[in-house]
Amino acid sequence: MARSRSSGGRGGRPDARSTRGGAGAVRIKTAKGRGTSSANWLKRQLRDPYVLAAQRQGLRSRAAYKLMELDDRFHFLKPGARVVDLGAAPGGWSLVAAERVRATASDGKAGRVVAIDLEEMAPIAGVAILHLDFLADDAPARLRAALGGSADVVLSDMAAPATGHTRIDHLRIMALLEAALDFALDVLAPGGAFIGKVLRGGAERELLDMLRHNFAEVRHVKPPASRKESAEIYVVALGFRKSAATG
């Protein structure tokens, strides 16, 4: 399995050397037929140290660093834990989770990771892939069967396709996160953790109240790998109270 940690250790920021100027710099021309916004996006990608580091380390996306940074701070991906990654494709978070819970260990203490997505994704060592809609009635039962029990961690880095309208994009991602939380409340074991992506915009207050009711500790964090100009933050909810969810 490809390594899912930066060259600086368990966490840390990737080295940004050779991403600006010099003989190795990459220049982007706005080709005929390519919009300026597309050219700007490509230019940003080629200069992004997280993108470059992910390519060097064989990671599937720069988003992998966000999960590393969150786990480095809150330590929810413990060896032996059972993890579900919702909307997992292309698998960046699943790859990190599999390494950190030791999903390929042969000492009888291996964790388990289940990736759920309607999209196809390439296999990952130690990860079971379920091609299904997590909103389906049978999804919780199928997950428990694949995990061998309830989940210790539910991850959601899902985002709806952007419309360009800030309010609409905010409401759509909040609807996704609320659905992910409902699923988590069904499948989490007592003491479990829920980590999900939010776009700031006002509608997140009600969801944060729900999280505080069901979890002992709730934090909202912007990891260093999240672009400064992005409105995204992550909620980290720890210490699931099963009785609160069922009461």
133-183 pLDDT, tens digit each: 999 999 999 999 999 999 999 999 998 777 888 888 888 989 999 999 999
Q: Coil, strand, or helix at residue 134?
A: coil
How confident is the model at residue 65, as a pLDDT? 86
Residue among 124, 105, 107 at smallest CA distance from 115: 124
How confident is the model at residue 47, as a pLDDT? 60
Lowest-confidence region among 9-13, 87-91, 209-213:
9-13
Backbone angles phi, psi at 183, to 5 degrees: -65, -45
- Residue 112, pLDDT above cutoff 70: yes
How confident is the model at residue 43, as a pLDDT? 52
CA 231 to chain centre: 16
- Provide the annotated active-site residues: 197
How confident is the model at residue 28, as a pLDDT? 34
**Amino acid occupying residue 81:** A
**pLDDT category, 42, cuts 50, 70, 90?**
very low
CA 175 to chain centre: 17
Residue 23 in contact with residue 58, Cβ under 8 Å? no
Backbone angles phi, psi at 68, to 5 degrees: -55, -45
CA 10 to chain centre: 17
On the question of a cis peptide bond just before residue 90, with omega within 30 degrees of 0, the verdict is yes
**204-214 helix and 166-187 helix, angle to the nearest 10 degrees:** 10
User: DSSP letters along 15-74, please?
Assistant: P-TTSSSSTT-------TT--HHHHHHHHHHHH-HHHHHHHHHT-S-THHHHHHHHHHHH
How confident is the model at residue 129, as a pLDDT? 98
How confident is the model at residue 56, as a pLDDT? 63
- Calculate Rg over the CA atoms of the chain: 19
**pLDDT category, 30, cuts 50, 70, 90?**
very low
Residue 35 in contact with residue 159, Cβ under 8 Å? no
Domain 63-246 fold is Rossmann fold (3.40.50)
Residue extents of the structural domains in the chain: 22-58, 63-246
Backbone angles phi, psi at 214, to 5 degrees: -105, -10
Is this structure's pTM higher than 0.75? yes
- Please compute the mean of the pLDDT values over residues 183-204 and round it to a whole number: 91
How confident is the model at residue 14, as a pLDDT? 54
- Please compute the mean of the pLDDT values over residues 94-123 and round it to a whole number: 96
How confident is the model at residue 242, as a pLDDT? 84
